[in-house]
């Protein structure tokens, strides 16, 4: 019975529908960067900064889904999308990320687990310390340098892809500002550079990284009440409303315990799969949401 249902939940949907949803989501995330090239009000720019920063974790979540080759039916499409779009947008090597992520699945909760951010202590004032470290880009530099340290070859293709995609992104900002504003060329370039560096790069490297750290902690850090404990980590399915799913739990991350148990299920089938499999596996039940879990971890 379970195998039959698992095959059903493993079924991937139409690639055109998946592409439409992804383009819509990425457009929503990147819209504030382009809008910021047209606006000068400082308060509006602050709002646009938070808009991009808070929702930028969705790109990381999408890269995770692509690393599992679950976005499209064709595996090569997933690899191409990860290598040429998502990895370069996040200034990372997609293949290196996937290698580390598979170790995370296979060595989960052990000393060999490649993901360590969920071990960070956020009790009391320590959460604010992590926040300020993110604001001053400490954790962004760690995330950027770690893949380089673990590389044993001299393959510069990932770096070239980052340069190509980033140049393309910056030029689209310039063109967007050129067609939709009345500014001269010097001001167009200045505004585009500000939006690119402050809204996009700094937003991603500061608050974007902070959100990804909080997400990992909520999904994996052990509480006294945790029931699905593996070594030094736990697995949780987390309740979400629309906003917390968009910020933290997009692309199936809120069904994280189910994903680790059944990593071949695409994100859009995980809710149905969780509701079915938790009937006989109580460890897959939903716990509290991201915010409530983080509050508990801060107090424990």
Could you read off the pLDDT of 98-149 as tens digits, one per residue?
Answer: 999 999 999 999 999 999 899 999 998 999 999 999 999 999 998 877 666 6
pLDDT above 90 for 157: no
pLDDT value for 273: 95
Torsion of CA 231, 233, 237, 241, to 10 degrees: 170
pTM for the model: 0.94
DSSP state for residue 219 in the 8-state scheme: H
Q: What percent of the chain has pLDDT over 90?
A: 84
More confident residue, 228 or 49: 49
Q: Are strands 229-230 and 233-234 parallel, antiparallel or unpaired?
A: antiparallel
More confident residue, 279 or 197: 197
The stretches of 224-299 forming alpha helices (DSSP H) are 242-244, 256-261, 270-277, 290-299
Q: Where are the beta strands (DSSP E) in the chain?
A: 229-230, 233-234, 237-239, 286-289
| Summary mean pLDDT of the chain | 93
pLDDT above 70 for 290: yes
Place 152 in a pLDDT band, splitting at 50, 70 and 90: low
- State how far the Cα of 9 lies from the Cα of 273, in Å rounded to an integer: 6
pLDDT value for 124: 87
Q: Are strands 237-239 and 286-289 parallel, antiparallel or unpaired?
A: parallel
Per the document, the length of the chain is 300
pLDDT value for 148: 62
pLDDT value for 144: 78
Q: Which long-range contacts (CB under 8 A, 24 or more apart) does 147-152 make?
A: 147/92, 147/93, 147/96, 147/97, 147/100, 150/96, 150/100, 151/93, 151/96
pLDDT in tens, 242-260: 999 999 999 999 999 999 9
pLDDT in tens, 7-66: 889 999 999 999 999 999 999 999 999 999 999 899 999 999 999 999 999 999 999 999
Place 154 in a pLDDT band, splitting at 50, 70 and 90: low
């Amino acid at each position: 019975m379970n195998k039959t249902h698992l095959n059903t939940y493993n079924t991937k949907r139409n690639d055109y529908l998946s592409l439409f949803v992804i383009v819509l989501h990425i457009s929503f995330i990147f819209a504030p960067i382009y809008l910021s090239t047209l606006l000068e009000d400082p308060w509006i720019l602050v709002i646009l900064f938070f808009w991009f920063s808070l929702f930028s974790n969705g790109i990381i979540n999408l890269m995770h889904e692509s690393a599992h080759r679950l976005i499209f039916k064709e595996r090569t499409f997933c690899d191409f999308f990860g290598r040429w779009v998502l990895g370069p947008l996040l200034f990372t090597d997609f293949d290196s990320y996937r290698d580390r992520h598979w170790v995370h699945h296979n060595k989960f909760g052990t000393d060999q687990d490649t993901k360590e951010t969920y071990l960070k202590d956020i009790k009391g004032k320590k959460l604010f310390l992590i926040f300020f470290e993110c604001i001053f880009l400490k954790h962004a530099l760690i995330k950027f340098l770690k893949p380089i340290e673990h590389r044993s070859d001299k393959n510069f293709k990932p770096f070239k892809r980052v340069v190509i995609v980033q140049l393309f992104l910056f030029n689209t900002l310039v063109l967007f500002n050129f067609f939709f504003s009345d500014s001269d060329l010097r001001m167009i370039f200045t505004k585009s550079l500000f939006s690119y560096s402050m809204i996009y790069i700094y937003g991603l490297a500061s608050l974007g990284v902070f959100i990804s750290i909080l997400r990992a902690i909520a999904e994996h850090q052990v509480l006294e009440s945790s029931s699905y404990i593996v070594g030094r980590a736990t697995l949780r399915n987390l309740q979400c409303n629309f906003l917390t799913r968009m910020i933290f739990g997009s692309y199936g991350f809120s069904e994280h315990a189910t994903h680790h148990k059944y990593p071949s299920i695409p994100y859009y089938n995980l809710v149905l799969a969780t509701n079915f499999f938790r009937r006989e596996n109580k460890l897959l039940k939903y716990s509290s949401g991201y915010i409530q879990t983080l509050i508990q971890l801060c107090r424990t």
